[in-house]
Structure 1
């Protein structure tokens, strides 16, 4: 099993297609974006090449490959407005393992460790993330990587007929 992380510098139309596939996968939607109700959760989004190019203005994006197959992406941004703790020099991270064959193999663990290294190289000392209350698998991953809960936002996202919290976690690197 060969895992590679490659920084995205020049988005392509084929990459946009893959991102749109993941963004609109009914099994991933509840895990990767907050939704206020059922109809919002069922809405489909379409990003364009211009959207992806614009995203690179404030995100560092890395593509995740397993045996030369693109299976996911991870990213970070510095000091976004949605930080729970407004500490300057904080990175906000996100990860999506979009392809089912990339899940449950420790790839997320390796990917986050790699992302932490990149953040540290940039001179940042703190990482923050949000994980939905029902996503226990991701919570276990972050706890294993020594992220600590710092708070939560009530009624943050809709899933399975009710609203759930967004648990905020941090780690100092």
Structure 2
């Protein structure tokens, strides 16, 4: 298993196609985006080249390859307004392992570890993320990587007929 992470510089049709596949996968939607109700949960969205280029203006996006096949993306933005703890110099982390054959193989662990090194290289010392309370597998991964719970937002996302918390976690990384 050969994993590679490459910074996304330009949105290309093949990349947009992968993002659309992942962002409209019924198994991933509850895990990767906030849904306020069942209608939002069932809504499908199209990513365009223009929208992906817009994301690149405020996010650092890295593509995750497994044996030269694009299987996911990991990203961070600096000091976004939705931080739970408003601490200057914080990276907000997001990750999607989009292809099912790449899940459960430790790719998320290695991708986050590599991204933390990139974040450190850019002089940031704190990482924050949000994970929905029902996503036990992701919480286990983040705890294994050293992330600690710092709070939660009640009734944040809808899944399986009820509203769930968004648990906020943080990790300080040293230079």
Shared fold (TM-score, shorter chain, > 0.5): yes
Aligned to 2:20: 20
Aligned to 2:63: 63
Aligned to 1:162: 162
Alignment of 1:88-99 (within 5 A): 88-99=88-99
Aligned to 2:76: 76
Task: Give, in angstroms, the shift of residue 13 of structure 1.
Answer: 1.1
Matched, 1:31 2:31: yes
* Deviates most, 8-17 or 163-172: 8-17
SS in 2 for 1:112: helix
Aligned to 1:105: 105
Task: Describe the superposition over 1:38-79 as per-residue Cα deviations: whole angstroms up to 9, x where unpaired.
Answer: 111000011110000111001000000000100000000000
Aligned to 1:117: 117
- Size of the alignment, in residue pairs? 173
Task: Give, in angstroms, the shift of residue 161 of structure 1.
Answer: 0.3
Aligned to 2:9: 9
Distance in 2 of aligned mates of 1:17 and 1:105: 24
Distance in 2 of aligned mates of 1:146 and 1:15: 31
Task: Describe the superposition over 1:77-111 as per-residue Cα deviations: whole angstroms up to 9, x where unpaired.
Answer: 00000000000000000000000000000000000
Distance in 1 of aligned mates of 2:40 and 2:8: 29
SS in 1 for 2:15: helix
Scaled by the length of structure 1, the TM-score of the pair is: 0.99
For structure 2, which runs of at least 5 residues remain unmatched after alignment? none
Task: Give, in angstroms, the shift of residue 14 of structure 1.
Answer: 1.4
Aligned-CA RMSD value:
0.4
